[in-house]
Amino acid sequence: MATLELEGISKAYDGVPAVSDVSFTIPDGEIVGLVGENGAGKSTLLDVICGVTRPDGGRLKLGGEVIGPRSYQEATTLGIFRVFQEQALLPNLSVAENLYLTHERAFSRAGILGRAQVARHAKGVLEDLGLELDVTRPASEFDFSTRQSVEILRCFAVAQLLGVERPIILFDEPTAALARHELEAFFKRLTELRGRLTAIFVSHRLREAIEHCDRLYVLKDGQLTWQAEPSAVDEETLHEAMVGRVRDADYYVEGRQGNGLGEAAMKVDGLGCEPHFRGVTFTLHAGEVVGLGGMRGAGKSEVGEVLAGLRPAASGSLSLRGKELPLSGAPNERIRQGIAYVPQERHRDGVMLDLSVAWNLTLAALPRRFSRGGVLRRRQEMAAVAKTMDELRVRAPSTGSAIRSLSGGNQQKIVLGKWLLGDLRILVMDNPTRGVDAGAKHEIYALIRGLTERGVSIVVITDDLLELIGLSDRILIFNDGDVVQTLDASPSDKPTEQALVQQMV
């Protein structure tokens, strides 16, 4: 296998850059570490390399030849593979069948799969790599770390089948879900395979990248900003390289941030939802913004889902103005109590793309506000739609336009605006400005300030550290499901990004 080169790779979504003009080289046989905070562009870059996403600009070269994989399957024929944090094995299939999944044609004759031949080839791959494993047993019979080894072995098995000498493996947060003893097994396997693969290793655990990579690259805001030899850096140096931006207080409307706390609106005590998070305790006051920060998978988004009734909790208690709330998960009841939720996946969970702007704005409030005796009060509904669109500065051809025709920023304003038509008391927001341009972000920040001035309590869950710092009155930092620190973020005492990242990783 030859050197992989990235030349000026760029990709944007809804006009918002995810990666911009990224260029670097992955020498044959090396393990390259790619680090950066959430949203820095790491996953997008891996998507481009393995054919999941087509870049808007730039090119990939393998051994000096320009390549452009149009699918993951096509990327594998070039010897490019990906190992995810979430495993992709089929538990009911044997190890051998998982190794060659989607490549059964090589072992079939007249449409009949030769399972003995599959097992024989799989056993040969393992012997070549010096491993012992019963390839005829179902994947479900092995522990997590062994199954992850099978994920890695699949890259070698398919590469050998396709005549690729040394696979290029993209490790996408492969250690995030591993326990300590499983981490040791993973890195033991990686050490044994060093020299037989070329790899990009993405991890939010910086110590792992320093100890196991040949060189390090840092992405920040979609751009490659820094590179170094691991022997020349430590975790603190990487922290500074990952962040190191100046926060604009005006952009986050910090001048309208309150200085005092109102009455207690919601109390969270010892809330637990294994394996996602445990022992979460905090009080949310009227007019306060509490920010939840942490790496992806740390548990912060799952807390938001529990607060909104979308996910049941297993332990602890949750009360609203002194009234106990059920932990079993009841989103309709939460909405009746004035608790609203803005999901991180706008298109999937926040809007109905083929319905009109008006319907998306008023659907949640129709039974309570715009109907009487089962009859829709159309005039009142449209008056409320026009007023809300004007207040939020929603730009749309008409109230009857399908929401998919709007920009990402205007769609997100609709997701927020629908809750303004009800009795909103608590708003839980998960990455509320993802995929939104800078101007729309500023307008959303101003809206958040306006809500707090009305006494609405807000929980902001975000991967954007500057947003987390700028919007919050207090910040809870999550690490592997635990709240490891609570930081004051009042206007006069904002923490730095470095202080947050040190606790997150």
Residue 316 sits in a domain of what CATH number? 3.40.50.300
Based on the domain organization, do 367 and 489 belong to the same domain?
no
Domain end marker among 370, 404, 421: 421
Q: Which value, in Å, is the radius of gyration of the alpha carbons in the chain?
A: 25
Burial class (CB in 10 A: 0-12, 13-18, 19+), 112: exposed
pLDDT at 200 over 90: yes
* 85 assigned to some structural domain: yes
Separation of alpha carbons 185 and 190, rounded Å: 9
What does DSSP assign to residue 244? -
Based on the domain organization, do 28 and 107 belong to the same domain?
yes
Based on the domain organization, do 106 and 93 belong to the same domain?
yes
Q: Could you count the other beta carbons within 10 Å of the beta carbon of residue 447?
A: 18
* 27 assigned to some structural domain: yes
Greater confidence (397 vs 445) lies with: 445
Q: Which two tokens stand for residue 270?
A: 């010892």
Based on the domain organization, do 433 and 410 belong to the same domain?
no
State the pTM of this model: 0.65
pLDDT value of position 151: 82
Based on the domain organization, do 200 and 258 belong to the same domain?
no
Separation of alpha carbons 24 and 214, rounded Å: 14
pLDDT value of position 374: 73
CB of 115 within 8 A of CB of 198?
Answer: no
Q: Calculate the alpha carbon distances from 367 to 14, 144, 374, 400 in Å.
A: 33, 48, 8, 20
Domain end marker among 242, 266, 282: 242
CB of 293 within 8 A of CB of 500?
Answer: yes
Based on the domain organization, do 212 and 301 belong to the same domain?
no
Q: What percent of the chain has pLDDT over 70?
A: 96
pLDDT at 432 over 60: yes
Total domain count, the chain: 3
* 217 assigned to some structural domain: yes
* 343 assigned to some structural domain: no
* 344 assigned to some structural domain: no
Based on the domain organization, do 380 and 292 belong to the same domain?
no
* 15 assigned to some structural domain: yes
Task: Band the pLDDT of 234: cuts 50, 70, 90.
Answer: confident
User: What number of CA atoms fall less than 13 Å from residue 382's CA on the CB side?
Assistant: 6
Based on the domain organization, do 285 and 161 belong to the same domain?
no
Residue 491: give the domain boundaries: 246-338+423-505
pLDDT at 1 over 60: no
Separation of alpha carbons 312 and 314, rounded Å: 7
* 326 assigned to some structural domain: yes
pLDDT at 427 over 80: yes
The candidate with the shortest Cα–Cα distance to 485, out of 496, 494, 474, 493, is 474
Based on the domain organization, do 16 and 40 belong to the same domain?
yes
With a CB cutoff of 8 Å and minimum separation 6, the contacts of 439 are 409
CB of 230 within 8 A of CB of 209?
Answer: yes
Mean pLDDT, range 154-180, rounded to an integer: 82
Based on the domain organization, do 159 and 46 belong to the same domain?
yes
Q: What percent of the chain has pLDDT over 90?
A: 36
Greater confidence (397 vs 66) lies with: 66
Based on the domain organization, do 445 and 329 belong to the same domain?
yes
CB of 262 within 8 A of CB of 230?
Answer: no
* 399 assigned to some structural domain: yes
Mean pLDDT, range 130-150, rounded to an integer: 83
Based on the domain organization, do 11 and 74 belong to the same domain?
yes
pLDDT value of position 111: 82
Domain end marker among 242, 271, 294: 242
